[in-house]
Amino acid sequence: MWKDSLVIPDRDFRFPSACGIAGIMSKNGRLMNGSVIVESITSMMERGNGLGSGYAGYGIYPDFEDHYAFHVLYDDKLSKKETEDFIKERFDITYDEPMPTRKVRSIKEVHVIWRYFLRPKITEAIEKMGMDLDEERDSIVETVMHINSKIKGAFVVSSGKNMGIFKGVGFPDEMAEYYRMDEYEGYIWIAHNRFPTNSVGWWGGAHPFGILDWSVVHNGEISSYGANRRYLESFGYKCTLSTDTEVIVYLFDLFVRKRKHDIYTTSKILAAPLWTEIEIMPDEEKDFYTKVRMVYGGALLNGPFAIIVAKENMMMGLNDRIKLRPLVCAEKNDLLFIASEESAIRKVCPDPDRIWAPRAGEPVVGYLKSGERYGEVEKASGIQDRSG
């Protein structure tokens, strides 16, 4: 294993299909110990080079399930004080503490990591005036954008309810030990093992990326990052974490939460077919994709990618439109598994009921069997997949 050798040979070897992603969801909402996703992602250790890894878990904060959980990286005490002064203007802080961690000799702690459980002050006014709670969520996004772009040395990496993102520079087993993942239980877990190619390896740039309840892990490169970033900036999002994957999580928030598109329409916007494919489609389908490409051109994700996207009631896997990165899915009873490799699934589920590779650009979605959030009612129960 590379990490046991004296030299990590990332200068001498390039793996264009590298980075490992994994996700596990219980559609019945059964809690699973974090050690399960750790076992899955660490079976693909060779897909990373130690410059980043991380986890996102849902259902992990039952004692504060109605609070927004902010995980914040600080460079110094000054950035922490400035951030907390700003937070106190907008939120009531119910509880805060240093992130519980273990000492891991190979992990260089370059940030102070703090977590806060917050209640927005705007919530009471919204409830009294009968306003849409989306106003509250907009205020969370604005808060995260302000801290990340305006306060030097402070970075909000997690801002959802009853979920959290844990990430940094290191191999996935090291990050799991550092963040004590075996002490958490959740009904959705996603994980990443990073092999950065076009961006730096630093704590804020590791995966998953998140905003509100959304989280994303990604294998590949977003060559349309510049166009996507400019598109998002026109709607108030700011990309500050120096990694192309950041645009993906904001695009899902924009189209699903704010524009009220469903997951499948959003997937068709982000991974729309090539013009050569559209030209030979039946008229109705051709008309739909022509409009998608013309209206949402700035949101199209170009380049190779395989992603896992999660929010509080859903987990989805999606490939780019010509499938330049591997992605495998499986089912077992109420569980949905998504990973870069079949071996990562069989490591934790040796005998799945069904296993398959989705087609290019076709989402595979698992829904929690209850719940309504973001004004979006997911009527489907279980897994929907249109991969054929």
Catalytic residues: 19
Secondary structure of 209-221 in HEC code, one letter for each residue: EEECCEEEEEEEC
Distance CA 173, CA 50 (A): 10
Q: Which residues contact 77 (CB under 8 A, 6 or more apart)?
A: 112
Pick the closest to residue 259 from 235, 286, 290 (CA basis): 235
372 forms bridges with which residues in the sheet? 377
359 and 323 Cβ atoms separated by less than 8 Å:
yes
Find the helix packing angle between 283-295 and 263-270, rounded to 10°.
Answer: 70
- Please give the order of strands across the beta sheet that includes 188-193: 163-168, 53-58, 188-193, 20-26, 335-339, 328-332, 354-356
Q: From the centroid of its chain, how far is CA 316?
A: 10
